[in-house]
A = this chain, B = another copy of it.
Amino acid sequence: MAQKVKLSTIAEALGLSTATVSLALRDSPLVADVTRDRIKEKAIELGYIYNRRAASLRTSRSGIIGVVVHDIMNPFYAEILKAIETELDRSRQTFILSNHYDSVEKQRNFIETLLQLGGDGVIMSPAIGTPASDIRLALDNGMPAILIARSVPEIDVPTFRGDDAYGTALATNHLISLGHTRIAMIGGTDHTSTGRDRYAGYANAMKKAGLELDPALRIPGPRTKQSGFEAAVNFLANPLKPTAAVCWNDLVAIGLMNGIARAGLVPGKDISVTGYDDLEEAAIATPALTTVWNGQSEVGRFAARALLDKLNGSSEADGLHLIKPEMRIRQSTTPLNPGAGR
């Protein structure tokens, strides 16, 4: 590997100063056109590589943005990330991605690393139990933060997520309108604002329709296919078997449908199932999954924009922004079959 090529290498080769070279490479109007061209040519010829750490040490802008979510493998976040990526790419920001797997500690490590690297900002879906102080750590050190998918108590930064109570109410009402009365709710926990909201939407819809809220019909659990698959056993063991299920998300719903099929019943016919998120996968599941579109791409896009706006000095977007979910009706929900559920 040849000697490192830096500004001064180019400067010396041309008999100029590093200042001129620096300005020229950044298209400053201060340097003569002809000089700029000579400099740029030489830079390419020598294989010059801009040293961002040196630059950012001087300018205190690194061009790095951090994004941390529960699990990037989860298609729900993956769709959000894709939207963020598209938006940030446009403004030539590098982004650093991390999972926290709901470990507050891993999340704080990430924030600290990002501060050390001089990150310009952070977009995060906070881990369960995130203390306000962890967000303030970023804020106090001049690194703006945007929240997605979940809120953190006492923190008032721009926050984007779906209107969960409204969304599960949509799904529940859909099932009620099909004649179902014993409707289970599967997956998720009550330890997050999302969890509480989703349950509230379901519970309110049930009450409003005059239906009984049987605690045995609430089966909490992780938010994975595996968990939905396993819940099927529990679900089908219930003596008064439910005829329909509102699932935490599409993954749980697909897992549940697989579990139902494995038990010899026909999902969508014997038991109606709704998902949540409307992942790409929902449409090609068998049967095609009725679900609630949760606006992941909107969340990602808005979050990225809000951060870029903040970096440019505006702060209009503070506070909570809810995206209204929409029903996507497919084949996994059908009118109550009077013979089923016994």
| Chain A residues at the B interface, C-beta cutoff of 8 Å | 1-2, 47, 49-54, 56-57, 62, 64, 72-73, 75, 78-79, 81-82, 85, 94-97, 99, 112-113, 115-118, 139-142, 225-226, 229, 255, 257-259, 261-262, 280-281, 284-286
Q: How far is the CB of A331 from chain B (nearest CB, A)?
A: 10
B140 and A1 form a contact (CB under 8 A): yes
Residue from the list B53, B79, B95, B285 in contact with A118, Cβ < 8 A: B53
B53 and A229 form a contact (CB under 8 A): no
A94 and B82 form a contact (CB under 8 A): no
Minimal Cβ-Cβ distance residue in B for A260: B286
Q: How far is the CB of A228 from chain B (nearest CB, A)?
A: 9
List the number of copies, as a whole number. Answer: 2
For the complex, would chain A's binding face be called helix, strand, loop or mixed by DSSP majority? helix
Report how far A281 CA is from B227 CA in the complex, Å.
12
Report how far A115 CA is from B284 CA in the complex, Å.
41
Report how far A99 CA is from B225 CA in the complex, Å.
25
A225 and B82 form a contact (CB under 8 A): no
**A96 neighbours in B (Cβ, 8 Å):** 94-97
Report how far A101 CA is from B88 CA in the complex, Å.
16
Known: A53-B53, A54-B57, A62-B53. A262 touches B280 (CB 8 A): no
